[in-house]
Amino acid sequence: MKRMDFEELIELGGFKEAMRNLQEEDNCITTYEILKDFAIETIKEDNIHLASHILKALEEADSNNNRWGEWSDYFYYDYSSGTITSPKMLSTIDDVAEHIGFDKE
């Protein structure tokens, strides 16, 4: 998706609607609820290290929310990467550009 198209979606339906559309194109876009459920499942599988890794990222996102007042239900995380990467909250266009990138204009 091009940045201009993403910006148009924000204007038409808001950031969450734009993220829903982008999520259909990128399988590394996930939500807070899905990440939380994933952490719970990893605990049930006795993979405490991975669960802790995910929960720390969610805690950090919540902590940053308290400082900057920005919160989003959307995150960038490649579930196949385990603890190699951490979930990154996507709350602005710049977050999307940094962690996912846009198609060339």
Q: What is the pLDDT of residue 66?
A: 52
Q: How much is the pTM?
A: 0.85
3-state SS of the chain is: CEHHHHHHHHHHHCHHHHHHHHHHHCCCEEEHHHHHHHHHHHHHCCCHHHHHHHHHHHHHHHHHHHHHCCCCCEEECCHHHCCCCCCEECCCHHHHHHHCCCECC
Q: What is the pLDDT of residues 15-65, one digit of tens each?
A: 999 999 999 988 899 999 999 999 999 999 999 999 999 999 988 887 766
Q: What is the pLDDT of residue 26?
A: 85
Is 68 contained in some domain? yes
Is 105 contained in some domain? no
Residues of the domain holding 38: 3-99
Q: Which of 3, 32, 28, 33 is nearest to 18 (CA)?
A: 3
Q: What is the pLDDT of residues 62-94, one digit of tens each?
A: 776 654 455 678 999 999 999 999 999 998 999
Is 104 contained in some domain? no
Is 18 contained in some domain? yes
Please give the tally of structural domains in the chain. Answer: 1
Backbone angles phi, psi at 25, to 5 degrees: -95, -25
Q: What is the pLDDT of residue 60?
A: 85
Is 43 contained in some domain? yes
Is 23 contained in some domain? yes
Q: What is the pLDDT of residue 63?
A: 72
